[in-house]
Structure 1
Amino acid sequence: MGISARELAAATPASRDRYVDLLRVASLSVVVLGHWLMAAVTTDGQVGNLLAVVPGLQAATWLFQVMPVFFFVGGFSHALAHRSRPRYAAFLRARLQRLLRPTMVFVGVWGAAALVLQLSGADGGLTGVALRLVTQPLWFIGIYLAMVAFTPPLLRLHERWGWGAFAALAGGAVAVDVLRFAADIPFVEFLNFAFVWLAVHQLGFLRADGMIRRPAPLAGAGLLGAAALVALGPYPLSMVGMPGEKVSNMAPPTLALLCHGLWMVGAVELLRGPGTRLVARAGVWRAVVTANGVAMTAFLWHLTAMLGVYGALLGLDRELPAPATGAWWAQVPLRLLAAALLTALLVAAFRRFEAPVPAAPSTGAGGPAAAVGITLALLGVLGLSLTGFAGLLDGHSATLIAVPVTAPAAVGLALAGWLLVERAGRGGSR
């Protein structure tokens, strides 16, 4: 029998930084809510983006694009975790269990459903759109895998150079954008998936060692930098990806998004005092502990829930109001409530796969195998986020940087990588 959230909350040591846990839950919750709100589904089953329908709302992404906060918190947690478990294979396995286990279950369930739907010819309309869309959030899992993989070497650089290590990554992001926009060098922009997100992750290392002492200048510099880049450069206003845009701040990430990350990190650090007092309340802390225990499961399945709500409305022959109209906004609270309830049901069904697993003894061997494993898992998860499950039997492929990849190949890579990390982390690899 597992330990209840109430017991976990009561057993929390006084030394734990509860504000970090609050930020983790809050940032993922905002991402989920944003995805639910941005979906503009029409009666013919097409899914658009509310920010494209109402471009004025794109300015709100400067407050609600909080993925940098999650990666910043990840850097903080990874620094502490690696220092307590320094052997590479054991560290990877411990960090990835609650990430890859629920992810592979999600992939397995949707992969089986895709096969059934396509074999029966029921993969048209909104169902076909769902098969394409539900895997898109897996890009986040892929980036997080890269952060875990690079934690040991980047933590050593941080311990030697401090802010200099962050500056080197930020300088790499600047160089990439210069080469991309000024020299028009192809494919160089993909390097910023590493430079931008690892720079944000590096800020978490700095926080872990108490080196972010003046968050106000950090927030101000980030906000002013992002504003200047958007006003004067080739960067769009939206800090999330927009359909059909020539340049996206998100995919691949840009220097403008890095400045936005600085603004977000500085802002949440300025709120650290009141946030810490809030989460010190027993009831609030129990809620945070409960949410943290199922956060990844909820994130994986939240688009499934949202599309399920719209599918039910269309199945009942309900005509959906045009996005952003008065009738559409009036339905928002009910749609959000329905999506939240369906997500809760899916979490109840799949939460056990996110439950912690007792650590296995490690001999210290298996580092190279673990490195290969996380690389395969990273490529597989990112590939699947691009291909989706639509056209699974038709050989549909997508381009991962410069290499075409199909959904079956991506699933195979992810599964092989996960199993390799598991085996190496148990000390079974020599």
Structure 2
Amino acid sequence: MGNSAVSARELAAATPATRDRYVDLLRVASLGVVVLGHWLMAAVDGTGQVGNLLAVVPELQIATWALQVMPVFFFVGGFSHALAHRSRPAYPAFLRARLQRLLRPTMVFVAVWGAAALLIQLLGADGGLTGVALRLVTQPLWFIGIYLAMVAFTPPLLKLHERWGWGAFGALVGGAVAVDVLRFAFDVPFVEFLNFAFVWLAIHQLGFLRADGMIRLPSVLAGAGLLAAAGLVALGPYPLSMVGMPGEKVSNMAPPTLALLAHGLWLVGAVELLKGPGARFVARAGVWHKVVVANGIAMTAFLWHLTAMLGVYGALLALDVTLPAPASGAWWAQVPLRIAAAAVLTALLVAAFRRFERPPAPPVAGAAPSAPSARPAPAPAAGGGPVAALGITLALFGILGLSMVGFGGLLEGHAATLIAVRITAPVAVVLALAGWLLVERVGRGRKSGTGTPSF
């Protein structure tokens, strides 16, 4: 890994003029908003109980209509995946290229927390905030699981896009509508879980449309999405919050609903409306350099940001610092200090673990814009496609399972249900590790040709 390392300044200077820098800005900004939102929502009281600020102050749930920006990240992913697959059409090579900087830091995170969880439980110290942390730190892994599914489905869905354009997107939207009708009007059991695919893949499909310049009326997309989301929340069974809330009967997030899809449409339309000024902003040399630096550590920071926030609260409790009641005046007054402390701790964790998020090599001048890392494209052996598909499936189920079960109760065999299958943390880790190793093995192949930059 070390031989390929280059500085962010070199990467920024080597960026080809054809690169869509606004996409990179959106990627960084969307993850940054998610991290900040998680830090703000964490409401820990003096007993170490972790609550949700949006549950304490329900009026703040309307803010999720601006701060729930995961749809933007998945939209950007669709754009990048379309370009990446067109430059690496072989399925194993495409998977490996897209997943290297995603799964390496993820598996390190899982290994560190898994070892820590086992030690904590053996010492009998898994109570209070520590026990809560063991359950909470893996929850953001759902995002990585969904992203793995998007990578896996890119080749067939890109073919549908190239043939049907907006029709392929419409089919996914139609699937999401059908699922919610069956769910809410006819009480069909378990059908709602299909919307993990239909809703998020529809947002992802919008990225394909952007890659081919087919989003020509973003104002219509934004307006239609906002009106649809408002109507569904006002008239239907959908809650106001666009993030999951503790104890709610219906969540817009888990599983996703038609209201969340409409919310994603308005966000995509909104960021497309800002493309002109956003592109001019990120074209500045200083801004672009910062975006390159942030993209180089984004996944590591995302993985460890909850660890940092819970570490700040744990330190305050250990030092007998009085924690005010969540949402009180004193609580709000401490917010800037807590966020600053979490940012510092996150930076320290990034410094410790960023080397596992493979540093990119300089872009190839004139290459199609998708990422700042150019390597010889692998030519996998014939028949590697099914093995690669198996690998990403195992990784997907392992990481999603771990996001649900957490690291609490390792020695007791604590389990959670993933699509009607009971899964424990050790089983989830084995699945994820096996899947990653399969993708790495079949995607490596023999080196030939030249690659396309990929983020």
- Looking at structure 1, the residues matched to 338 and 330 of structure 2 have their Cα atoms a distance apart, in angstroms, of 12
- Looking at structure 2, the residues matched to 259 and 377 of structure 1 have their Cα atoms a distance apart, in angstroms, of 29
Other-structure match for 2:86: 83
Q: Is 1:207 paired with 2:210?
A: yes
Q: Which runs of 5+ in 1 are unaligned?
A: none
- Looking at structure 1, the residues matched to 228 and 380 of structure 2 have their Cα atoms a distance apart, in angstroms, of 47
Which stretch of the first structure deviates more once superposed, 355-364 or 88-97? Answer: 355-364
One-letter amino acid of the counterpart of residue 296, structure 1: M
Other-structure match for 2:401: 383
Other-structure match for 2:274: 271
- Looking at structure 1, the residues matched to 56 and 395 of structure 2 have their Cα atoms a distance apart, in angstroms, of 36
One-letter amino acid of the counterpart of residue 363, structure 1: P
One-letter amino acid of the counterpart of residue 86, structure 1: P
- The 3 A distance-change label for structure 1 pair 407 and 359 is farther
Q: Is 1:362 paired with 2:365?
A: no
Q: How does 1:278-427 map to 2 (within 5 A)?
A: 278-356=281-359, 358-359=375-376, 361-365=378-382, 366-427=384-445
Other-structure match for 1:113: 116
- Looking at structure 1, the residues matched to 56 and 378 of structure 2 have their Cα atoms a distance apart, in angstroms, of 54
TM-aligned CA deviation for residue 401 of structure 1: 2.0
Instruction: Pick one of 108, 112, 137 that aligns with 2:140.
Output: 137
Contact 2:380–2:442 (CA<8 Å) still a contact in 1? no
Question: Alignment length, in residue pairs?
Answer: 428
Q: Is 1:125 paired with 2:128?
A: yes
Other-structure match for 1:175: 178
Instruction: Pick one of 154, 162, 167 that aligns with 1:164.
Output: 167
One-letter amino acid of the counterpart of residue 399, structure 2: V
One-letter amino acid of the counterpart of residue 352, structure 1: R
- Looking at structure 2, the residues matched to 360 and 201 of structure 1 have their Cα atoms a distance apart, in angstroms, of 24
Which deviations, in whole Å up to 9, do the C-alpha atoms of 1:15-58 show, x marking residues without a partner? 00000000000000000000000000011111100000000000
One-letter amino acid of the counterpart of residue 271, structure 1: L
TM-aligned CA deviation for residue 359 of structure 1: 4.9
The DSSP-based 3-state class of the residue aligned with 2:423 is strand
Other-structure match for 2:450: none
TM-aligned CA deviation for residue 387 of structure 1: 0.3
What TM-score does the superposition give when structure 2 sets the normalisation length? 0.93
Which deviations, in whole Å up to 9, do the C-alpha atoms of 1:173-209 show, x marking residues without a partner? 0000000001101100000000000000000000000
Q: Is 1:186 paired with 2:189?
A: yes
One-letter amino acid of the counterpart of residue 101, structure 1: R
- Looking at structure 2, the residues matched to 106 and 146 of structure 1 have their Cα atoms a distance apart, in angstroms, of 20
Contact 1:97–1:356 (CA<8 Å) still a contact in 2? no
Contact 1:158–1:165 (CA<8 Å) still a contact in 2? yes
Other-structure match for 2:7: 4
Contact 1:377–1:417 (CA<8 Å) still a contact in 2? yes
Q: How does 1:144-155 map to 2 (within 5 A)?
A: 144-155=147-158
One-letter amino acid of the counterpart of residue 231, structure 2: A
Q: Which runs of 5+ in 2 are unaligned?
A: 361-374, 447-455
One-letter amino acid of the counterpart of residue 397, structure 1: A
Contact 1:397–1:406 (CA<8 Å) still a contact in 2? yes
One-letter amino acid of the counterpart of residue 389, structure 1: F
Contact 2:301–2:350 (CA<8 Å) still a contact in 1? yes
- The 3 A distance-change label for structure 1 pair 360 and 394 is farther
What TM-score does the superposition give when structure 1 sets the normalisation length? 0.98
Q: Is 1:224 paired with 2:211?
A: no
TM-aligned CA deviation for residue 275 of structure 1: 0.2
The DSSP-based 3-state class of the residue aligned with 2:23 is helix
The DSSP-based 3-state class of the residue aligned with 1:405 is strand
Contact 1:176–1:192 (CA<8 Å) still a contact in 2? yes
Which deviations, in whole Å up to 9, do the C-alpha atoms of 1:31-89 show, x marking residues without a partner? 00000000000111111000000000000100111000000000000000000000000
TM-aligned CA deviation for residue 364 of structure 1: 4.5
Q: Give the root-mean-square deviation of aligned CA atoms.
A: 0.9
TM-aligned CA deviation for residue 427 of structure 1: 2.4
Contact 1:101–1:353 (CA<8 Å) still a contact in 2? yes
Identity of aligned residues (%): 84
The DSSP-based 3-state class of the residue aligned with 1:404 is strand
- Looking at structure 1, the residues matched to 344 and 184 of structure 2 have their Cα atoms a distance apart, in angstroms, of 45
TM-aligned CA deviation for residue 360 of structure 1: 6.4
Contact 1:90–1:364 (CA<8 Å) still a contact in 2? no
The DSSP-based 3-state class of the residue aligned with 1:293 is helix
TM-aligned CA deviation for residue 382 of structure 1: 0.2
- The 3 A distance-change label for structure 1 pair 368 and 242 is same
One-letter amino acid of the counterpart of residue 380, structure 2: T
One-letter amino acid of the counterpart of residue 213, structure 1: R
